Structure 1
Amino acid sequence: MARHKNLKNSLVTLYPSFVLHLISLSPFNSLISTPKKSPSPKRCSSPNLSLFFISLVIIFAFLGLSLLNFIPTSQNSVNCSATSPSPVSAVLSDDSDDDEPRLSRIAMVPLPAHRVSGNLTGEEREFWRQPDNEGYRPCLGFSIEYRRESARVSKEKRRFVVVVVSGGLNQQRNQIIDAVIIARILEAALVVPVLQVNHIWGDESEFSDIFDVEHFKKTLQADVRVVSSLPSTHLVSRQTVETQIPRHAPPLWIRTKFLNRLKQEGVLVLKGLDSKLSKNLPLDLQKLRCKVAFHALRYAAPIRELGNRLARRMWIEGPYISVHMRLEKDVWVRTGCLSGLGREYDDIIARERDSRPEFLTGKLNMSHVQRRLAGLCPLNALEVARLLKALGAPKNARIYVAGGEPFGGSSALKPLVTEFPNVVRKEMLAREGELGPYTNRSSVLAAIDYIVSLSSEVFVPSHGGNMVRAMQGHRAYVGHRKFIKPNKRAMLPFIEGLAISDAEFSSTMKKLHKNSQGQPEMRNNKRDREVVAYPVPECMCK
């Protein structure tokens, strides 16, 4: 029926004679034809005038409806309306098999938040209470100009962008997002990104091992043409790899630097994109960033299935907290901080840092004490436990610890387990053989942590980083699930103050974190923020 209706309206627009025929059938015809002489000079004209105005209204109404049918609409945009369902409830089913993916169905959503009940104190109820999302919902309606350009860009077959991405999983995600944006800026096709072997963790995973390639292509088919490999016509024995990209490069710089070369050579190979593209892009490109992050980059089916199984095992027993603990050995080496595990462990980190000084990142002239008080160090297990207790987390709260193997093993988590006995990691939650295929695949293990953490009632990171920013934005995008961002610089002096009472410490921690628990926070208040971490207002509207 819809196809027939569009065909009829097309005829109205393309064949004006059809409209003229309608006019000829009405009294409006008297305005464009020669009137016949009436034998009666005193004939009353009132009925003809009435018919004339009725016909006029009908014709203009018909023409108006025909015109509305030709106003371009986006079939793959998330619109914001007062009657639309919540972003979580509307998207629990998988994507349909239609040619155009429906972006109102998000790629990955958390399990529903629990209705907390039972014998809880007021403080504990407040801890589990979810923030008010203030009516914000995903809103990815692209402009008419963007959609017009898409008809050409999405069919590009002459120019190709190849991107090599590096780092851990969430660092790779950021670079893949920017790769799509750069391909769009240059109006080129994007070759499925190449994942560089991770030398720190020895992970040799390829894009298709971690992400759903076909879903990636299908979701972006109206924005950028994505191909699995370069066509044979563009293969050359040697290709220049471009690595010199300044930080905060705007679209104009990208076009000026690369467009002519791309037109001449047909292929552009980029490497080292990490956080190089400007955070402040035109609105359509910001929306495209969200579309890639929250819709296109869906994990491969085996990872999704395993991650969802573990998440359900946590969820089925009630609300739970996910804590992203950055306690890995390389984190202590890179941050220049001490683990708090004692002299033996501190000496190991110091020797490692002395042998590889290039690993230390930033603030080289600061001591480990200064770094810690400046908020540059990860919170250790004791500090996380004190913060959770002060904010009202029940002692029997179930806690999922995301992150790599802690330096120091189980002893590194002992202070947290002492205060909250129900602490589990993915290795404890998985059944025999489930994690076996991914033993040496750090990116896959990080993806599983991501899936389980997304469904938690409360998410708390011990340190900043790519995982934290990705989780912050994703939790906001699916309804502003509670996200507690520790104010390390402000809270650590109180942790050091042994004379402070538990009640006073709790009151202070609640005041410090009152406005950092997942409420909608505008990105445009601070322009250096990433839209993927702060999707309001570019990617969400009321």
Structure 2
Amino acid sequence: MLGGDYHLNSKPVFFHGSKNDFSAKYGAYKGNYHVGKRNIWLRKHLKSIAFMFVFMGLFFLLDSLMVSIFDSANIRSSLAPIRSSGIKEENKDAKEGKEKSPVHMYDRLLNLASSALVEKEFKQESASFWEEPFQQASAWKPCADRKLPTSLERDNRKNGYILVSANGGLNQQRVAICNAVAVASLLNATLVLPRFLYSNVWKDPSQFGDIYQEKHFMKIMKDEVDLVKELPPDLKSVDIEAIGSLITDADLVKEAKPVDYIRTVLPVLLKNRFVHFLGFGNRLGFDPLPSELQKLRCKCNFHALKFVPKIQKVGSLLVKRIRKHDAARSTLDKQLIGNFMSGVPPKRHDVERNGPSKYLALHLRFEVDMVAYSLCEFGGAETERKELQAYRELHFPLLIERLKTSKPVSPIELRKLGRCPLTPEEAGLVLAGLGFKRGTYIYLAGSHLYGGKSRMDSFTSLYPNLVTKETLLTPSELAPFRNFSSQLAALDFIACATADVFAMTDSGSQLSSLVSGFRTYYGGGSAPTLRPNKKRLAAILSENGTIEWNRFEDRVKKMIEEGQRVRVRGFGRSIYRQPRCPECMCKI
């Protein structure tokens, strides 16, 4: 049998020659014997060896396939949101259909952030920033609508009528409405339902009743201020400017005090029975002001101004589609969306089956006008510098003239001083530093980002689950809002205010201020807001070339926690943004 195996698996050996050749013959036979032994072993294990090679081949094939799938998925996930989210390019290349290369300022930190997010992907989320870090936040409750004795006695004999035509966008107009309520009370006048000026910038013809519920507004404020929808017939035909009743922003200083109104406006009101405030942008300061007037502002902003059902309904669709359930979860939901969300909380297994219900809303202020006006540089080199200079020359001629006669501050110094708008890249690094996972659902408010896709590339490489109202709503659902920028802004307001976390990149913007104030007022200490300190962040990012990721995380977290401390409104601070004060909220 051994010989048979041998002859089957090797060439035959022929013996010939003398006996002296024996040793040579034996040696040859011995060698062939060992060869045969190896062949026997191979024969026995042939199937195992073949299976092993097939398995390894399949393994490498599967590995290559998975790499290909993940690479293509990553590419799609990072590009798809940009193509479909409604983010508009604000540059010449975009108009010509050219693709701009991604602009990165912090490649090393981006790589560290990306690696950190991969490591955390399958770990339990440890980010504490889904919740308010300070328990004192829950000690403040809404109470601007409480009835209290007032030292401002209402006189049935009114001094006349006040009409306000407010300029700006949705949020500037909201502030103007509530300031008008306070001024009407101060001057003992009847307030005509405010009007909104048409702006060539906003291009929105919407009026009060297109955005806010008129009946609700008048009902809530009727005990404090007399309100009418229109001027009496005898005043409608009066030439306002001719009689000197037109009050423009040039007639009142910004953040004017009550005494300014008493001296400047009241005499005109008493004489002509009517004054018309044209523009009325931030024309009433916050301090010093009688507490009764502060209370009126709060009651107006947080209780009297409710969006019309058309806006509430579509706003509820945004929230439902991000959360993947349709139950109201908080007082914020009820206040902003009304009855368009059910009051039944979702069952836990429904949430787990349908996907994540938490989301973060981000107001990313990086529009071309803001970027150009800042005089900062954002990593786009000479192309960017020429682009922004051309925009300044076209849109900001006064700024150009001022720069000719003043010593310019370098872009590097401006960044150190915290005067530069945060880029999408910087916003993404902050969120990564705070520990938000790569899979976090992020609602992006606004859509006119400078640089478009080339700027968002770094952000979506870290956080691909980026959505906007344009991606969440169908064309037919968006159609009624298409030519009404203020109504579209109202949808952003709802999505941001009802989010589990709201993050801003510019605390000075009206949307961010009003949304954060709304979350403070109705959030019950469970509506965290993230406010980066641009000066501190610039110092951290200046160490991009050397800072370790753990150190970066620690410093970013401390920066955000400092901004989340529970503080009572300071003197001169906006009561719309910081309502924690006796006139607005009650401390338990």
TM over 0.5: yes
1:272 to 2:287 alignment: no
Instruction: Provide the residue aligned with 1:297 in structure 2.
Output: 305
Name the CA distance, whole Å, in 2 between partners of 1:469 and 1:343. Answer: 34
Structure with bigger gyration radius: 2
Is 1:327 the counterpart of 2:366? The answer is yes
Q: 1:359 to 1:135 in 2, by over 3 A?
A: farther
Residue 533 of structure 2 is aligned with which of 487, 494, 502? 487
8 Å contact kept, 2:129–2:528: no
- What whole-Å deviation, never above 9, does each CA across 1:473-495 have from its counterpart, x for those lacking one? 11100124100110110111221
Is 1:503 aligned with 2:550?
Answer: yes
User: More relative contact order in 1 or in 2 (CA 8 Å, sep 6+)?
Assistant: 2
Normalised by the length of structure 1, the TM-score is: 0.73
Say which is worse superposed, 499-508 or 370-379, in terms of deviation: 370-379
Do the aligned residues in 2 keep the contact of 1:327 with 1:404 (CA within 8 Å)?
Answer: no
CA gap of 1:250–1:157, structure 2 versus 1, over 3 A, is: closer
- Residue in structure 1 matching 2:433, options 383, 386, 390: 390
Q: 1:438 aligns with which of 481, 486, 492?
A: 481
For 1:123, the equivalent position in structure 2 comes to 126
Structure 1 residues 529 and 358: alpha-carbon distance in aligned structure 2, compared to 1, 3 A threshold: farther
Percent identity, aligned pairs only, is 30
Instruction: Give the secondary-structure state (helix, strand or coil) at the position aligned to 2:198.
Output: coil
Q: Structure 1 residue aligned with 2:572, among 512, 516, 528?
A: 528
Contact 1:134–1:520 (CA under 8 A) maintained in structure 2: no
Aligned to 1:212: 213
Counterpart selection for 2:264 from 257, 260, 263: 257
Contact 1:333 1:360 in 2 (8 A): no
Alignment of 1:15-30 (within 5 A): none
Higher helix share: 2
Shift of residue 467, structure 1, vs aligned partner: 0.9
- Give the drift of 1:120: 5.4
Shift of 1:296: 1.2
Determine the C-alpha separation between the residues in 1 that align with 2:453 and 2:224: 47
Q: Letter of the 1:477 partner, please give it.
A: Y
1:471 aligns with 2:515: yes
Q: Structure 1, residues 136-187: CA drift from partner, whole Å, max 9, x if none? A: 10122354135x724x45xx66611011111121111111111111111111
Report SS of the residue matched to 2:292. Answer: helix
Structure 1: which amino acid aligns with 2:504?
P
Q: Does 1:149 align with 2:194?
A: no
| Per-residue deviation, 1:412 | 2.4
Partner of 2:503, secondary structure, is strand
Q: Indicate the residue corresponding to 1:351 in structure 2.
A: 390
- Equivalents in 1 of 2:297, 2:122: separation in Å? 44
- Alpha-carbon separation, structure 1, partners of 2:256 and 2:378: 37
CA distance, structure 1, for counterparts of residue 125 and residue 438 of structure 2: 14
1:367, CA displacement in angstroms? 3.3
Equivalents in 1 of 2:123, 2:399: separation in Å? 45
SS class of match (1:149): coil
Q: CA deviation at 1:122?
A: 5.6
Match for residue 75 of structure 1? none
- Counterpart of 2:247 in structure 1: which amino acid? E
Q: Does structure 2 conserve the Cα–Cα contact (< 8 Å) formed by 1:143 and 1:284? A: no
Superposed CA RMSD: 2.3
Deviations 1:250-293 (A, max 9, x none): 22321232223212211111123222212121111111111111
Q: Secondary structure at the match of 2:162?
A: strand
The 1:236–1:300 alpha-carbon spacing in structure 2 relative to 1, beyond 3 Å, is: same
How far apart are 1:410 and its partner, in Å? Answer: 2.6
The CA distance in 1 between the partners of 2:579 and 2:307, in whole Å, is: 21
TM-score, normalised by the number of residues in structure 2: 0.67
Q: For 2:447 and 2:385, locate their aligned partners in 1 and report how far apart those are by CA, in whole Å.
A: 19
Cα separation, 2, equivalents of 1:360 and 1:174: 27
Counterpart-to-counterpart distance in 2, 1:359 and 1:392: 43
Is 1:180–1:224's contact at 8 Å kept on the other side of the alignment?
yes
Quick one: which amino acid aligns to residue 145 of structure 1?
T
Q: Deviations over 1:110-143 (max 9, x none)?
A: xxxxxxxx9753632x121234324210122354
Structure 1 spans left out of the alignment, 5+ residues: 1-117
Distance 1:222 1:531, change over 3 A: same
**Once the two structures are superposed, what CA deviation does each residue of 1:448-470 show, in whole Å capped at 9, x if it has no partner?**
00000111111111113111111
Task: Give 1:496 deviation, angstroms.
Answer: 2.6
Inter-CA distance 450–341: structure 2 relative to 1 (3 Å threshold): farther
Structure 2 unaligned segments of length 5 or more: list them: 1-120, 325-355
